[in-house]
Amino acid sequence: MTTTWIGPEKILAKKKEYLLPCLYHFYQNPPQIVRGKGVFVYDNEGRKYLDLFAGVSVHALGHCHPELVKTICDQVSTLQHTTTIYLNQSIVNLAEALAQYLPGDLSKSFFCASGTEAVEGACLLATLHTKSSEFIALSGGLHGRTKLGMSLTGLSFWRTDPKPVGGITHIPAPHYNPLSEENNLENSEENCLASFKKTLESKAGKIAAFVAEPVQGNGGIRFFSPAFFQEIHSLIKAQGGLFIVDETQTGFGRTGKKFGFEHYGITPDIVCGGKALGGGTPIGFFSTTPEIASSYTRPGASTFGGNPVTAEAAQKFLEIIQRDNIAEMAAEKGQFLGNLLNELSSHFPEHIAQVRGLGLMWGVELKDHASRNASDLTDQILEDLKDQGILLGKTGPERNVLSFLPPLIIPKEELEKSVSVLKEIMNKALSR
């Protein structure tokens, strides 16, 4: 393992020389993170940072969880990879564990190596099952970086290719806040549903699926009302289409339930995801019912999907989150964090537009002010927090939402300390 660190300046220089320029990073002065333990990461100079972004919703159990590390190391030193053309018990045991964890009869899975591939696979399956290639997605959603994933994405910031693949219609997303009485929406639910119905009609009998995140993570931590999802679910089913949820960010306890869709009282036809399930190793999966799965019989393979290292790590991850009641804990800590953030918001009525969240997925949306542009203020706050030893995320179409996706094991005291530092930093930033 490397112990000589080249430092941020040299990394930036090599990044510029050898990586594609599309790989952005946070911060004017980014640290070189070299080590992680629990809710903390450390830079090359030994500075400690509280990680409130968890590698973008990956490290649900914190960095280098000892049981995950042991499982991974044991498997790495025994058998790393063979592919699915040879029999291996790790992949089938993981599929069984996932079937037991998923609700309903979502009992058949396919494993791949990223969330993007999971979305692609889910859409392919929907096409095979319905014999249609028409999809409906939501504005503000994000579904990956490939041509199809990006085409389903309804956020211009992440739509590098302005010419999406055909067959995809975006409808506006109603912006519903589960904690606010004032759902006085620019995109009212009625308007969004009307747009959905119009799209369905225009594609009569030809729809493959509706694809959505239960909570729009990159879209700025945005929610929907249960009634909205339920209505879409029944409309699409009536047309013979499928309902696909993308749980890449929201799955496995993040929102205080096993899956984000459980907040809406629907069971999707296909669930896809990745991130946290791999326990820090690359993973993607899509799961469905036996009936829908039976449409995918032609050869399909993923070289690294369900490899023994990832499959063992993912089984251990599922075992730990259930044994330690991680989702329930996330729900409880989320309420605590929500109270702190609402209190914070009451101090900055001119700069905070809205606080919203569920479980340990929270967004503080900043608003433009005569003195400060919200997106610049977001960057300033992130930089100052980093200098004070706290790593926070930012999301939203305008890049103006401070985003909390901490490890689900985070102690309440750390949440309390970090919101208090955020308050100090906002006071300072706004007095400049």
Residue 361 in the binding site for ligand PLP (CB under 6 A): no
The residue within the footprint of ligand PLP, chosen from 50, 54, 98, 119 (CB under 6 A), is 119
Task: Name the nearest CA neighbour of 253 among 328, 364, 173, 147.
Answer: 328
Instruction: For 296-364, give the DSSP string.
Output: --S----SSTT-HHHHHHHHHHHHHHHHTTHHHHHHHHHHHHHHHHHHHHHH-TTTEEEEEEETTEEEE
Distances (CA, A) of 409 to 25, 309, 327: 26, 23, 10
Task: Name the nearest CA neighbour of 28 among 302, 386, 301, 402.
Answer: 386
Residue nearest to ligand PLP (CB): 115
Binding marks (x or -) toward ligand PLP, 9..38, rule CB under 6 A?
------------------------------
C-beta of 250 vs 380, nearer to ligand PLP = 250
C-beta of 340 vs 401, nearer to ligand PLP = 401
Provide the minimum distance between the beta carbon of 412 and ligand PLP in the complex, in angstroms, as a whole number: 26
Residues 265, 238: contact at Cβ < 8 Å?
no
Torsion angles phi and psi, residue 89, rounded to 5: -80, -20
Cα–Cα–Cα angle for 393, 217, 129, rounded to 5 degrees: 150
Choose the stretch contacting ligand PLP; rule: CB under 6 A; options: 26-34, 109-117, 189-197, 237-245: 109-117
Residues 106, 95: contact at Cβ < 8 Å?
no
Choose the stretch contacting ligand PLP; rule: CB under 6 A; options: 89-97, 139-147, 383-391, 401-409: 139-147
C-beta of 113 vs 331, nearer to ligand PLP = 113
C-beta of 90 vs 116, nearer to ligand PLP = 116
Provide the minimum distance between the beta carbon of 34 and ligand PLP in the complex, in angstroms, as a whole number: 22
Using CA atoms, how far apart are residues 116 and 347, in angstroms rounded to an integer? Answer: 39
Residue 120 in the binding site for ligand PLP (CB under 6 A): no
Provide the minimum distance between the beta carbon of 270 and ligand PLP in the complex, in angstroms, as a whole number: 13
Under 8 Å CB-to-CB from 408, ≥6 apart: which residues? 60, 61, 253, 254, 321, 326, 327, 329, 330, 333, 359, 360
C-beta of 242 vs 361, nearer to ligand PLP = 361
Choose the stretch contacting ligand PLP; rule: CB under 6 A; options: 121-129, 184-192, 210-218, 394-402: 210-218
Using CA atoms, how far apart are residues 356 and 346, in angstroms rounded to an integer? Answer: 14
Under 8 Å CB-to-CB from 168, ≥6 apart: which residues? 134, 135, 136, 137, 151, 152
Residue 114 in the binding site for ligand PLP (CB under 6 A): yes
The conformational region for residue 240 under phi > 0 = left, psi -120 to 50 = alpha, else beta, is: left
Task: Name the nearest CA neighbour of 62 among 317, 314, 319.
Answer: 317
Task: Name the nearest CA neighbour of 313 among 74, 68, 55.
Answer: 68
C-beta of 119 vs 292, nearer to ligand PLP = 119
C-beta of 56 vs 429, nearer to ligand PLP = 56
Provide the minimum distance between the beta carbon of 158 and ligand PLP in the complex, in angstroms, as a whole number: 9
Query: How many beta carbons lie within 10 A of that of residue 56, not counting itself?
Result: 16
Provide the minimum distance between the beta carbon of 87 and ligand PLP in the complex, in angstroms, as a whole number: 27
Residues 231, 181: contact at Cβ < 8 Å?
no
Binding marks (x or -) toward ligand PLP, 215..244, rule CB under 6 A?
--xx--------------------------
* Segment 247 to 286, residues that bind ligand PLP, using CB under 6 A: 248-249, 274
Provide the minimum distance between the beta carbon of 41 and ligand PLP in the complex, in angstroms, as a whole number: 19
C-beta of 101 vs 285, nearer to ligand PLP = 285
Number of residues that bind ligand PLP (CB under 6 A): 15
C-beta of 38 vs 217, nearer to ligand PLP = 217
Residues 403, 394: contact at Cβ < 8 Å?
yes
Distances (CA, A) of 193 to 89, 203, 204, 278: 45, 15, 16, 35
The residue within the footprint of ligand PLP, chosen from 51, 134, 246, 312 (CB under 6 A), is 246
The residue within the footprint of ligand PLP, chosen from 90, 109, 116, 132 (CB under 6 A), is 116
Provide the minimum distance between the beta carbon of 143 and ligand PLP in the complex, in angstroms, as a whole number: 5
Residues 101, 318: contact at Cβ < 8 Å?
yes
The residue within the footprint of ligand PLP, chosen from 36, 144, 308, 406 (CB under 6 A), is 144
The residue within the footprint of ligand PLP, chosen from 142, 152, 331, 409 (CB under 6 A), is 142
Binding residues (CB under 6 A) for ligand PLP: these are 56, 114-116, 119, 142-144, 213, 217-218, 246, 248-249, 274
